Amino acid sequence: MTHLCGAPIVMQMILGAGAEEQRAFTQKVNMMTAAAPPPASVLAAMAGKGIEVTHVYGLTESYGPAVVCAWHREWDDLPIEEQAAMKSRQGVTYPVLEGVMVADAETLEPVPRDGETLGEIFLRGNIVMKGYLKNPAASREAFEGGWFHSGDLGVCHEDGYIQIRDRSKDVIISGGENISSIEVEDTLYKHPAVAAAAVVAKPDEKWGETPCAYIEPKPGAEVTADEIIAFCRDNLAHYKCPRLVVFGPIPKTSTGKIQKFVLRERAREG
């Protein structure tokens, strides 16, 4: 095998395979991943397995991948953890995409290139759809201002590379503070007992919403909810940490993409 494609959960499956299932590669393997921002810890582990991962970004409305994390040779000299952090970014458009920007969702004013100011990701070009079938109202809304509104939130770094922070519908608003579910998930993936993780909003009478973490432990791993919460509190601002941890299988599509809408419904039902 020399090439493969797969969602980040596929990388988790590769890394979590038992010793009897693993095979040594005789040559470098190239993998393209999309569907969700891959955790930096997972990218680092894949590099350790001899698998070179390229991260791309796109949507069904953009005919699949539209932006790619083009690698800089000078990044080869960075520590593996920093290389993984760079790979989790995007930044270079495919030749058939006219442009991409991170901007204010209302004014379409580009955000500063500070890696911190949150905005919506906008796309424009020949591979972007003309509109939604038999839904002119949704089409007008999606292209308001002459750009396609992706619904994804991100930041723009000094070098022009963007970094996805969350889907707008997945942002958790707790006590007036916005919490990126992806940031919490990235922390959870650093725990040695976690094979897969997904974080969604759970309704809360006091705070409005609080983070709820669904976790698939690695085979044979033993971990408690208290240990997971304590780990998060050591690595995140306390208000971002899950208040509830649920262990068990996480629902996924046939291609391995986590079905967060199912988890959101479970969290609402308590």
Using the CB atoms, write b or e for 124-156: b if 16+ within 10 Å: bbebbeeeeeeeeeeeeebbeeebbbbebbbbb
Backbone torsions φ then ψ of 23, nearest 5 degrees: -130, 145
pLDDT of residue 250: 93
Question: CB–CB of 248/214 below 8 Å?
Answer: yes
Question: CB–CB of 257/7 below 8 Å?
Answer: yes
Domains of the chain (ranges; CATH) run 3-93 (3.40.50.980), 97-167 (2.30.38.10), 171-269 (3.30.300.30)
pLDDT tens digits, 30-78: 999 886 767 777 888 888 888 889 989 999 999 888 999 999 999 989 8
pLDDT of residue 92: 84
pLDDT tens digits, 91-101: 789 888 999 99
Question: CB–CB of 97/147 below 8 Å?
Answer: no
Tokens of 160: 């022009």
Query: Which one, of 195, 182, 189, lies nearest residue 13 by Cα?
Result: 195
Instruction: Kindly give, in sequence order, each residue whose CB lies less than 8 Å from that of residue 18, ignoring residues fewer than 6 positions away.
Output: 219
pLDDT of residue 115: 92
pLDDT of residue 25: 78
Question: What is the distance between the alpha carbons of residues 59 and 70, in angstroms, rounded to a whole number?
Answer: 18
pTM of the model: 0.77
Which segments of the chain have a pLDDT < 70?
35, 37
